[in-house]
């Protein structure tokens, strides 16, 4: 399989155009803090992110391979890879890709594209792809995380509505408000497990919805909201795929988990931790010698650099398979997820070994890189479970490799 590519003269020309456009909208000298906590609503940086995201969206570049009729860019895989590889070079946070290519598109948008009725796609996809809608994923429950089929939230048909009751956990961040939830709930309690759930797109302002903050680990990426649905009336038009497909959510969740089916390209990786460490070792002496000359430090940094490159290639392969090759089955998606989660943790440990306990500090006197190393250190812990835990990713990898179903 040949998924890596070199610029043809036409692509090289396109790359120049993309760079010129990005220079205007996301200049190279623009930096945003690494810790999303520092990007507060109303601040210049926050407004800039929204503006830049919408500018990319208006261009069709938040989902550059998707059909133009729904607000996508209609580009080929190669052109889209050019766009994204240029976008990720812009100086923004490690989560910059997420900030600009939100999961509202990469996960829910893909589900809507695959499952939605024509009317639903036309109604919501264009504003989602323009980056105008923020949605939170309402899947996990107090007793249903990895075993998502154990959810208890119900959505029972009553005339032209579904009545939703239940509790969802670990949603969103404290600095943002969602316009919609993508919600899974049991629509047919008599149907067998996994064949009984529907996927809804629920406006967050419906009567009967309330929330409570869950202060878990520090940093917003490891906390979230608990959302309560108390006899919430959700009109049937918000059920993705329509009532005939009321119990079709499982397939789309699995597809998203296994291969991110039809997601727009998401190529990492500009790793801020690695950038900080490289900067630090090139300036800091220990025992009279620059750290960059220490063989152990050099070994560790070569290892982390290789891990970053493997992750980039895995992601490129995954995108190539789903977009260019249209191949949706395979172990490659879970392999990329498992490798990414494990590598992130190993990287954080390597940085700790090199920099020492200062990576655990946030206070101005001891912290490194304005406390950003602390953020870099804890995020992998949270991300090890986000979406699915490491163990469950491994299970999915084994099942995909052995072609075992659900
Ligand atoms: C940063 C972050 C953001 C999140 N954002 C969202 C969000 O926006 N929306 C949302 O709905 N959810 C969100 N989640 C929740 C996330 O999807 C769940 O944490 C995840 O599915 C794991 O569920 P759990 O936490 O209940 O752990 P559990 O499922 O209870 O797992 C506990 C432990 O048991 C292990 N385990 C469970 N089952 C098996 C098995 N079959 N075999 C081997 N080991 C197993 C797990 O690996 C883990 O170590 C988020 C989580 C995090 C950390």
> CA distances (Å), 25 to each of 41, 91, 92, 257, 402, in order?
20, 13, 13, 33, 46
Alpha carbon separation from 50 to 38, 39, 44, 45, 93 (Å, rounded): 15, 11, 10, 9, 14
Taking residues 108-118, what's their average pLDDT?
90
9-101: CATH topology is Butyryl-Coa Dehydrogenase, subunit A; domain 1 (1.10.540)
Residue owning the nearest CA to atom 39 of ligand 1: 392
1 pLDDT above the threshold of 60: no
Q: Name the pairing type of β-strands 289-290 and 285-286.
A: antiparallel
Taking the CA of residue 144 as reference, the ligand 1 atom at the shortest distance is 26
Residue 285: the pLDDT is 95
For residue 220, the model assigns a pLDDT of: 46
Positive or negative torsion for Cα 307, 311, 317, 318: positive
Rg of the chain, C-alpha, whole Å: 22
**Domains of the chain by residue range:** 9-101, 135-252, 268-401
pLDDT at 342 over 50: yes
Most confidently predicted of 28-32, 211-215, 265-269: 211-215
DSSP 279-342: HHHHH-EETTEEGGG-HHHHHHHHHHHHHHHHHHHHHHHHHIIIIIS----SSHHHHHHHHHHH
The pTM of the full predicted model, rounded to 2 decimals, is 0.89
Cβ of 145 below 6 Å from ligand 1: yes
What span, in angstroms and rounded, lies between the C-alpha atoms of 34 and 95?
A: 7
* Shortest-distance atom of ligand 1 to CA 137: 9
Tell me how far the alpha carbon of residue 337 lies from the centroid of ligand 1, in angstroms.
Answer: 14
Q: What angle do CA 92, 93, 98 make, to 5 degrees?
A: 100
Report the percent of the chain where pLDDT is more than 70: 87
- 210 burial via Cβ count (<10 Å: 0-12, 13-18, 19+): exposed
Please tell me the distance from the alpha carbon of residue 253 to that of residue 138, in angstroms, as a whole number.
12
212 pLDDT above the threshold of 60: yes
Closest CA to 224 of 266, 167, 262: 167
pLDDT in tens, 37-62: 666 777 777 777 778 888 999 999 99
| Cβ neighbours for 147, distance < 8 A, ≥ 6 positions apart | none
- Side-chain-facing half-sphere of 82: CA atoms under 13 Å: 21
Query: Measured between alpha carbons, how far is 267 from 85 in angstroms, rounded to an integer?
Result: 7
Confidence band of 2 (pLDDT split at 50, 70, 90): low
Indicate if the pLDDT at residue 171 is higher than 70: yes
- Per residue in 184-198, pLDDT (tens digit) is 999 999 999 888 999
More confident residue, 220 or 219: 219
Q: Where residue 144 falls among pLDDT bands split at 50, 70, 90?
A: very high
Mean pLDDT of the chain: 85
pLDDT tens digits, 94-107: 444 455 667 888 88
CA–CA separation, 202 vs 163, rounded Å?
12
Relative to the CA of 387, which ligand 1 atom is closest? 17
Burial, 175: exposed, middle or buried (Cβ in 10 Å; 0-12, 13-18, 19+)? middle
| Ligand 1 pocket mutation, candidates 111, 140, 167, criterion most atoms within 8 A of CB | 140
Q: Which atom of ligand 1 is nearest to the CA of 221?
A: 1
Ligand 1 midpoint to CA 221 (Å): 14
Question: Does residue 392 have its Cβ closer than 6 Å to ligand 1?
Answer: yes
Q: Find the mean pLDDT for residues 338-364.
A: 90
- From atom 41 of ligand 1, which residue's Cα is the shortest distance away? 392
Model confidence pLDDT, tens digit, residues 229-288: 999 999 999 999 987 777 878 877 777 776 666 666 666 666 778 888 999 999 999 999
232 Cα–ligand 1 center, Å: 26
CATH class, 135-252 region: mainly beta
**63 class by beta-carbon count within 10 Å (0-12 exposed, 13-18 middle, 19+ buried):** buried
Q: How much is the pLDDT for 97?
A: 46
Q: Ligand 1 centroid vs 303 CA: distance in angstroms?
A: 28
Q: What CATH number matches the domain at 268-401, 1.25.60.10, 1.20.810.10, 3.40.630.10, 1.20.140.10?
A: 1.20.140.10
| Distance (Å) from CA 146 to ligand 1 centroid | 5
Q: How many Cα atoms within 13 Å fall on the side-chain side of residue 12?
A: 4
Q: Is the pLDDT of residue 27 over 70?
A: yes
CA distance 121 to 111: 10
What's the gap in Å between 350 CA and the centre of ligand 1? 25
Stretch 198-219: mean pLDDT: 88
Give the pLDDT band (50/70/90) at residue 366: confident
pLDDT class of 118 with cuts at 50, 70, 90: very high
Least confident of 99-103, 150-154, 175-179, 288-292: 99-103
Which 3 state secondary structure label does DSSP give 235? strand
Residues 343, 344, 349, 355: is their CA dihedral positive or negative? positive
Pocket test for ligand 1, best of 177, 225, 386, 399 (most atoms within 8 A of CB): 386
| Ligand 1 neighbour 223 (Cβ under 6 A) | no
For residue 333, how many other CB atoms are within 10 A of its CB?
28
* Mutation choice for ligand 1 from 150, 184, 385, CB with most ligand atoms inside 8 A: 385
Token duo for residue 363 = 């206070």
């Amino acid at each position: 399989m040949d998924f890596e590519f070199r610029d043809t003269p036409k692509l090289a020309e396109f790359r120049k155009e993309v760079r010129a456009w990005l220079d205007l909208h996301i200049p190279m000298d623009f930096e945003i803090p690494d810790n999303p906590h520092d990007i507060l609503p109303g601040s210049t940086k926050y407004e800039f992110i929204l503006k830049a995201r919408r500018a990319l969206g208006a261009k069709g570049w938040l989902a550059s391979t998707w059909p133009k009729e729904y607000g996508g860019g209609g580009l080929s895989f190669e052109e889209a890879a050019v766009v994204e590889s240029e976008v990720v070079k812009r100086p923004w946070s490690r989560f910059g890709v997420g900030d600009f290519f939100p999961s509202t598109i990469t996960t829910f948008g893909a589900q809507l594209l695959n499952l939605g009725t024509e009317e639903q796609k036309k109604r919501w996809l264009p504003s989602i792809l323009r980056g105008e809608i923020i949605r939170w994923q309402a899947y996990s429950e107090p007793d249903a995380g990895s075993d998502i089929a154990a959810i208890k939230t119900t959505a029972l048909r009553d005339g032209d509505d579904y009545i939703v009751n239940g509790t969802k956990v670990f949603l969103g961040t404290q600095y943002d408000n969602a316009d919609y939830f993508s919600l899974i709930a049991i629509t047919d309690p008599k149907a067998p497990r996994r064949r009984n759930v529907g996927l809804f797109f629920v406006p967050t302002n419906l009567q009967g919805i309330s929330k409570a903050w869950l202060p878990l680990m520090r940093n917003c990426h490891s906390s979230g909201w608990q959302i309560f649905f108390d006899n919430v009336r959700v009109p049937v038009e918000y059920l993705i795929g329509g009532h005939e497909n009321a119990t079709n959510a499982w397939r789309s969740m699995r597809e998203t988990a296994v291969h991110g089916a039809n997601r727009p390209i998401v190529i990492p990786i500009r790793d801020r931790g690695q950038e900080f460490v490289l900067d630090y070792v090139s300036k800091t002496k220990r025992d009279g010698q620059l750290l960059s000359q220490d063989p152990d430090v050099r070994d560790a940094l070569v290892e982390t650099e290789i891990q970053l490159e493997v992750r980039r290639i895995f992601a490129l392969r995954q995108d190539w398979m789903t977009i260019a090759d249209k191949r949706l089955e395979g172990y490659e998606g879970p392999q990329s997820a498992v490798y990414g989660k494990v590598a992130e943790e190993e990287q954080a440990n390597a940085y700790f070994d090199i920099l020492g306990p200062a990576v655990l500090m946030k206070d101005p006197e001891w912290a490194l890189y304005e406390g950003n190393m602390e953020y870099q250190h804890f995020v992998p812990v949270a991300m090890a479970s986000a979406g699915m835990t490491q163990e469950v990713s491994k299970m999915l990898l084994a099942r995909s490799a052995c072609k075992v179903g659900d």
